[in-house]
Amino acid sequence: MLKFLTKQFLYGRLYLWLKERIGGILMLAIAIFLIIYFHNEYLNYVEYKTKFEESYIGLSFVVKNILILLVSGSYFYFYFFLNKTKQVIKKDENNINTKTEESKNDMVTSLDEFLDDDELK
């Protein structure tokens, strides 16, 4: 039982620590993966280029890697763009909610408040 509670506590602590840093860790993992991937692709490119000097296989490597960069770049651009838009929408919703709360406080309970005392009599 004590072992189970200790595991749960440590998993909870690890989760809370990762929760704040998951974006940075994910970006680091993607960057490391891309470095390894492009290094491997470059080595394959050099190998094929020396074997087949007059073919267009080398060009296919270049085109493929450019397309991968364009797709991943556009994904991250739209991901961050949409994330900023979501934040703006939430901010606007909060402003609207506070304004409606303020307007509820400004509501008139009776039309007599618009008239002067002389006009009421």
The pLDDT > 70 percentage for the chain reads: 80
HSE-CB at 108 with a 13 A cutoff on CA atoms is 6
CA–CA dist 60, 92 (Å, integer): 47
Say if 116 falls within a structural domain: no
- pTM: predicted TM-score of the whole model, two decimal places: 0.46
Residues spanned by the domain of 41? 23-102
Model confidence pLDDT, tens digit, residues 40-95: 888 888 888 888 777 777 777 778 888 888 888 887 788 777 777 777 777 777 77
Say if 11 falls within a structural domain: no
Helix axes 2-51, 57-105, angle to 10 degrees: 140
Say if 62 falls within a structural domain: yes
**What pLDDT is recorded for position 42?**
83
Separation of first and last alpha carbons in the chain: 80
Say if 7 falls within a structural domain: no
Q: How many domains does the chain have?
A: 1
